[in-house]
Amino acid sequence: MKFGAVYPQTEYGNDPSAIRDYAQTVEGLGLSHVSAYEHVLGVNPKRPDRITGPYTYEHPFQSPFLLFSFMSAVTSELGFATCILILPQRQTALVAKQAATLDIFSGGRLRLGIGVGWNQVEYSALNENFRDRGQRIEEQVELLRLLWTKPLVDFNGGWHTIEDAGLNPLPVQQPIPIWFGGNAEAVLKRIARSGDGWMPNYKAATDALPSLEAIHKYLEEAGRSREEIGIEFRLPYGNGDPNTWTRTIREWQTIGATHMSFNTMGSGFFTPAEHLAAVRKFASVIGIK
């Protein structure tokens, strides 16, 4: 299993020196990757239509492509995973370009975790349709892989038209791995058909079992093997109990998890130093280095 950390951006602040220290500390501890959540815009929960979600306009989010480009410049081996990028609210060719550039700058250290999201205000502000996001993401994945692997692309789909054009330069990884976030039935089918991995939202491995069994069924129908799909879960700091951490990791390993990200957000930390101390404690307990 590869052990990583969730960048605690809603609580960590915006000091470039602190962000550099985070990336270098995580790499120095022997963790394999940093994952980062993202939102372009936050919603006011007091608006008349009362759109609610886990985050509001008061939660800070840095652009993951720019954040990871900065981190890649101050590290040499640390991997990066978007967890998740809300793909259907973006122009596909532009995402392909941004991801390819980051992959080049980092030397092939990117995994692109994607999902459809929940914030319809964000979709409207970016001039994209919230209602057809599930259908569009499948076409987007197909197009991304073409753009990352072919110098010239001809594509005529339901939402995209590219006439004999392509990216230059192409990414180091051809194609960049695409992982899906989410637990809905449609997502599980997409993972089986075209995903490189799954980033579930379940806290406990036992809760993930029904969805995992469904993925295995859909993989068989798609003619793919279970080994083709990675699984990355997030482990919360919680109350800081190492026994809880090790037990949770064992449970996820039992059902086939290949990656995990240690999450220090929501644990009562108020400074970058506190978040880094928690990551150091975790690395020491797990014995990564």
Q: Tell which wins on pLDDT, 1 or 288.
A: 1
Q: What is the CA radius of gyration of the chain?
A: 19
Give the pLDDT confidence score for residue 195 in this predicted structure. 98
Mean pLDDT for the chain overall:
96
Say if residues 183 and 202 touch (Cβ distance below 8 Å): yes
Three-state SS string over 188-216 comes to HHHHHHHCCEEECCCCCHHHHHHHHHHHH
pLDDT per position as a tens digit, 65-110: 999 999 999 999 999 999 999 999 999 999 999 999 999 999 999 9
pLDDT per position as a tens digit, 248-267: 999 999 999 999 999 999 99
Structure tokens given for 191: 């993972």
Task: Say if residue 288's pLDDT is above 80.
Answer: no
Say if residues 101 and 68 touch (Cβ distance below 8 Å): no
> Hey, is 25 helix, strand or coil?
helix
138 pLDDT band, cuts 50/70/90, is: very high
The CATH code of domain 2-286 reads 3.20.20.30
Say if residues 262 and 5 touch (Cβ distance below 8 Å): yes
232 pLDDT band, cuts 50/70/90, is: very high
Task: Say if residue 287's pLDDT is above 90.
Answer: no
Give the pLDDT confidence score for residue 47 in this predicted structure. 84
Give the pLDDT confidence score for residue 289 in this predicted structure. 62
Beta strands in 159-285 (DSSP E): 161-165, 178-181, 197-199, 230-236, 259-263
Give the pLDDT confidence score for residue 180 in this predicted structure. 98
Say if residues 26 and 78 touch (Cβ distance below 8 Å): yes
Please report, as a single letter, which amino acid is at residue 17: S
pLDDT per position as a tens digit, 22-65: 999 999 999 999 999 999 999 898 888 877 788 899 999 999 99
How many C-beta atoms surround the C-beta of residue 152 within 10 A?
A: 12
> Hey, is 58 helix, strand or coil?
coil
Q: What are phi and psi of 85, to 5 degrees?
A: -85, 130
What are the structural domain ranges in the chain?
A: 2-286
User: Which is nearest to 101 in space by CA: 148, 34, 142, 152?
Assistant: 148
